């Protein structure tokens, strides 16, 4: 009984400590500084981690503390037992960033709350971040807490986490969009598209942006593969793919990323009396350049690069504005040997890349084999 009272007293003290930290941080948080909130949650997570992982508190501690907080601060949101667990998760996953003695730390602006227990002092609300191993410091503090939890839960790979933090901060991703990107393993397809950007784009910063802008594979789940099927004319297939992309242009642009604006399909180009009609033409605000996408339903061929080169030359000569950067070309085909593409594309002097696409209808072979034959399904129906 005595032990139970002792734990209750500790829980009440813990609630008081967290409450004080919350109130002290709310003044600064009212200014809209996301880093203040993250620092608060990190500090609370640290405090909870120390108490729960060492067996100081019982199993019902977080629920008891949460109930006490809601009682003392009516209307308080975001401090349920589950939220407190997430704060602990946040701290325990980023504990490596706590470098208080670093000369380059970025201290939070909230006050330090101290709980004296004998010789120990627990700090709540202090987060010291040092830029090590390419850690995206500024992006980290621009990402909301819920997004951080989705990233932590969605991947264990540290580089993947950096990637999603940066992408969330740059593109202001909603939680559901971020979650879908993690599920689709977006990181696995970034920075891997065969291209000659580093060679053909003189501005190193712009070349890096171009490399990061495009993935090596895109999921075009709105394409009806049954309509394409096996046809005699490949051009008919490509027009069908183009039509379905046009019908779903918003979803296609979202697949490609932010800052794309659609100019048109079968865009008319003419030079010296010869007409050309590239499949899809976009403008990307981040790159300040036109992006032409040529669709191919089969395997990659070197002749596609020559065709794309012609489009880019005409676009730069006849369509590009003086303040814009040279146009970029993408071949979007059904399949490609990356090593082969990397080898042949380097000899072209216009910025180009080759990506592939897949559809949700194309399920893995194991899953396909597990399903009944289509004729059997018909019989069942």
What is the domain range of residue 33? 2-131
* Alpha-carbon span 187 to 197, nearest angstrom: 19
Check residue 154 and give its pLDDT: 94
Bridging pattern class, strands 274-276 and 280-284: unpaired
Q: Is residue 373 part of a domain?
A: no
From 190, 213, 230, give the residue that closes a domain: 190
120 and 142 part of one domain: no
84 and 170 part of one domain: no
209 and 291 part of one domain: yes
Contacts of 73 (CB under 8 A, 6+ apart): 19, 22
Cα 366 to Cα 96, 184, 283, 369, distances in angstroms: 40, 19, 40, 5
Take residue 107 and report the two structure tokens written for it.
């201290």
Between 129 and 90, the more confident residue is 90
Average pLDDT of the chain, as a whole number: 79
pLDDT tens, position by position, 248-288: 787 788 778 778 999 998 999 999 999 999 998 999 998 99
273 and 216 part of one domain: yes
- Total number of domains in the chain: 3
**Minimum mean pLDDT among 127-136, 217-226, 351-360: which range?**
127-136
Check residue 368 and give its pLDDT: 45
113 and 149 part of one domain: no
Q: Is 54 exposed, middle or buried (0-12, 13-18, 19+ CB in 10 A)?
A: exposed
Check residue 164 and give its pLDDT: 92
From 157, 190, 223, give the residue that closes a domain: 190
* Alpha-carbon span 341 to 330, nearest angstrom: 12
Which residue's structure tokens are 């990061």? 212
The string of DSSP codes covering 219-264 is E-TT--HHHHSS-S-HHHHHHHHHHHHHHTHHHHHHHH-SSEEEEE
284 and 343 part of one domain: yes
336 and 239 part of one domain: yes
104 and 218 part of one domain: no
170 and 203 part of one domain: no
Q: Is residue 26 part of a domain?
A: yes
218 and 326 part of one domain: yes
User: Do 58 and 97 touch, CB atoms closer than 8 A?
Assistant: no
Phi and psi torsions of 124, nearest 5°: -115, 125
- 302 DSSP 8-state letter: T
Q: Is residue 20 part of a domain?
A: yes
Take residue 5 and report the two structure tokens written for it.
């009272």
Mean pLDDT of 180-197: 82
Q: Is residue 370 part of a domain?
A: no
**Minimum mean pLDDT among 11-15, 55-59, 100-104, 296-300: which range?**
100-104
Check residue 285 and give its pLDDT: 92
Q: Is residue 380 part of a domain?
A: no
Contacts of 281 (CB under 8 A, 6+ apart): 262, 263, 264, 265, 267, 290, 291, 292, 293, 315
Rounded to the nearest angstrom, the gap between the alpha carbon of residue 169 and the centroid of all alpha carbons in its chain is: 9
pLDDT tens, position by position, 160-172: 998 899 889 888 8
Phi/psi-derived region of residue 317, left when phi > 0, alpha when psi is between -120 and 50, beta in every other case: alpha
pTM (two decimals): 0.54
Q: Is residue 374 part of a domain?
A: no
**Minimum mean pLDDT among 72-76, 198-202, 224-228, 259-263: which range?**
224-228
Check residue 227 and give its pLDDT: 52
35 and 114 part of one domain: yes
Q: Is residue 381 part of a domain?
A: no
Q: Is 352 exposed, middle or buried (0-12, 13-18, 19+ CB in 10 A)?
A: buried
Contacts of 335 (CB under 8 A, 6+ apart): 298, 299, 300, 356
176 and 49 part of one domain: no
Mean pLDDT of 31-57: 83
Between 262 and 2, the more confident residue is 262
Contacts of 97 (CB under 8 A, 6+ apart): 127, 128, 129, 130, 135
Check residue 27 and give its pLDDT: 53
Residue 354 is part of a domain; what is its CATH number?
3.40.1350.10
pLDDT tens, position by position, 209-232: 888 788 888 877 777 655 544 444
**Minimum mean pLDDT among 172-186, 269-283, 329-343: which range?**
172-186
Q: Is residue 151 part of a domain?
A: yes
The string of DSSP codes covering 105-164 is ----SSPPEEEEETTEEEEES-------TT--HHHHHHS-HHHHHHHHHH---HHHHHHH
* Alpha-carbon span 228 to 239, nearest angstrom: 10
Q: Is 223 exposed, middle or buried (0-12, 13-18, 19+ CB in 10 A)?
A: buried
From 162, 190, 218, give the residue that closes a domain: 190
């Amino acid at each position: 009984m005595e032990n139970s009272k002792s734990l209750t007293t500790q829980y009440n003290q813990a609630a008081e400590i967290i409450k004080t930290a919350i109130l002290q941080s709310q003044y600064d948080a009212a200014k809209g500084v996301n880093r203040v909130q993250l620092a608060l949650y990190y500090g609370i997570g640290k405090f909870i981690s120390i108490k729960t992982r060492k067996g100081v508190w019982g199993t019902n501690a977080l629920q008891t503390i949460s109930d006490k907080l809601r009682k003392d601060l009516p209307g308080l949101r975001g401090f349920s037992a589950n939220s407190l667990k997430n704060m602990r998760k946040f701290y325990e996953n980023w504990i490596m960033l706590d470098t208080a003695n670093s000369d380059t730390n970025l201290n939070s602006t909230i006050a330090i709350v101290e709980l004296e227990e004998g010789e120990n002092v627990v700090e709540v609300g202090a987060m010291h971040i040092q830029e090590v191993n390419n850690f995206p410091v500024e992006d980290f503090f621009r990402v909301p807490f819920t997004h951080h939890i989705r990233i932590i839960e969605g991947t264990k790979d540290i580089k993947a986490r950096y990637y999603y933090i940066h992408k969330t901060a740059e593109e202001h991703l909603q939680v559901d969009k971020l979650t879908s990107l993690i599920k689709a393993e977006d990181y696995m397809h970034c920075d891997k598209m065969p291209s000659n950007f580093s060679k053909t784009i003189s501005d190193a910063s712009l070349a890096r942006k171009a490399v990061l802008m495009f993935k090596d594979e895109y999921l075009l789940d709105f394409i009806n593969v049954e309509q394409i099927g096996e046809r005699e004319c490949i051009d008919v297939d490509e027009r069908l793919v183009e039509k379905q992309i046009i019908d779903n242009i918003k979803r296609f642009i979202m697949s490609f990323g932010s800052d794309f604006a659609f100019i048109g399909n079968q865009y008319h180009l003419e030079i010296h009396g010869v007409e050309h009609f590239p499949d899809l033409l976009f403008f990307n605000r981040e790159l300040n350049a036109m992006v032409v996408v040529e669709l191919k339903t089969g395997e990659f061929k070197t002749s596609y690069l020559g065709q794309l080169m012609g489009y880019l030359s005409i676009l730069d000569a006849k369509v590009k504005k003086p303040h814009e950067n040279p146009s970029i070309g993408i071949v979007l085909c059904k399949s490609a040997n990356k090593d082969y593409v990397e080898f042949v594309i380097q000899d072209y002097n216009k910025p180009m890349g080759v990506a592939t696409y897949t559809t949700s209808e194309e399920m893995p072979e194991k899953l396909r084999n597990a399903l009944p034959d289509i004729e059997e399904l018909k019989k069942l129906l």
